[in-house]
Copies of this chain bind each other. A is one copy, B any other.
Amino acid sequence: MGGVVLSTVELPENAREVLRRLGAELYELPRLGEGGLLNILPRVEVLMCWCSGDFDLARWVNSMPNLRVIQTFSAGVDHLPFQAIPSNVRIYSNAGAYSEPVAEHAWALILALAKGLHRPTLAARDYLSNEFTSPRRIIGSTLLVLGTGGIGREIARIGKEGFRTYNIGVNRSGRQVEYFDEVYRTDELRVVIPRADIIAIALPLNKYTRNLIGAEELRLAKRGAIIVNVGRGDVVREEDLYEVLKERPDIRFGTDVWWVHDGREEIPPRTPLTTLPNFLGTPHIAGGAQRDVAERAIMRAVENVARYLRGESPLNEVDRSDYV
């Protein structure tokens, strides 16, 4: 019990109480000056952060000799400076905190692309005959989900229960997961891509998934496939995506996630992707960028830190070997 906890964002009052009742000495970065921060850093045991714009972890981590736990508010941890974080610090992600809103967003992208809502016209004949808008059926189609974590499983659940999709999953081990009819290992990806009417990418970005989807994989997509990415932009090769969407106007692609250059997700991207008529993009707004979604996610992160303070095992420990 106890310990110094630093949150890089202000916490809701009930979250503060949860931590204080467990004896934590809680500091919130927006309430500290830089002087205050320098004073408490040496004593911080638990850091709660987005660890992107809010806190320069690579800069400060050396001033935190007592740091034992990093709990992110984000589900993905691909942006953490793993090389700089001492090996005795445990890292916990907020995986699962965004499953429902992000899966809903994935389905909004899928349905909008399927029904031509990314480029609607009021001329019925054009709408129906145009390759970019002609409506496609969803019920009973085959859905391939890359990544079977919280978001991927929720995408699969909505597909199966709502739209009676036949669900194929891909994860690292090929282990069976609820709501999937078949699951394959990542190295079997090319075998399953051609079977899918819809492909939803819900993978975290790590050394195994970076650039996983390149031109060869994209070209394997079935004629008329709908592909959406709600995981991380860099799972798909940026240049390859543009090239293949240009050569394959039958593929419709939607994304909420973009490519990181110099540590920043760049929107719009470096290719003229957003000008293509078979593309629909939203600026990474499906999850934590929504205030109410972020508030719930922050509470969930606090509950995980509470597990640590009680001496229990927190959830979602990050395996650093996935990233370095």
- B-contacting residues of A (Cβ < 8 Å)? 100-101, 104-105, 107-109, 111-112, 114-118, 120-124, 127-128, 134-135, 137-139, 158-159, 161-163, 267-268, 274, 280-286, 289-292
Contact = CB atoms under 8 A, between A and B. Distances in A.
A283 B111 contact: no
A281 to B, nearest CB: 7
Contact of A282 (B101, B117, B280): B117
Contact of A127 (B104, B128, B274, B282): B282
A229 to B, nearest CB: 15
Contacts of A161: 161-162
A56 B294 CA distance: 59
A122 B257 CA distance: 11
B108 A114 contact: yes
A137 B286 CA distance: 10
A144 to B, nearest CB: 18
Contacts of A135: 101, 105, 285-286, 290
Contact of A268 (B122, B137, B158, B162): B122
A283 B119 CA distance: 12
A118 B118 CA distance: 7
Nearest to A140: B100
Contacts of A290: 128, 134-135
Contacts of A105: 115, 135
Contacts of A134: 290
A284 B267 CA distance: 34
A289 B127 CA distance: 10
15 contacts: A100-B137, A100-B139, A104-B111, A104-B115, A104-B139, A104-B163, A111-B112, A112-B112, A116-B282, A120-B280, A124-B289, A128-B285, A128-B291, A135-B285, A162-B162
Contacts of A284: 124
A261 to B, nearest CB: 16
Contacts of A274: 122
A281 B282 CA distance: 20
Q: Which of A117, A267, A286 has the most CB of B within 10 A?
A: A117
Given A128-B289, A158-B163, A281 B120 contact: yes
Nearest to A117: B112
Contact of A163 (B117, B123, B162, B291): B162
Contacts of A127: 282-283, 285
B108 A115 contact: yes
A117 to B, nearest CB: 5
A138 B280 CA distance: 20
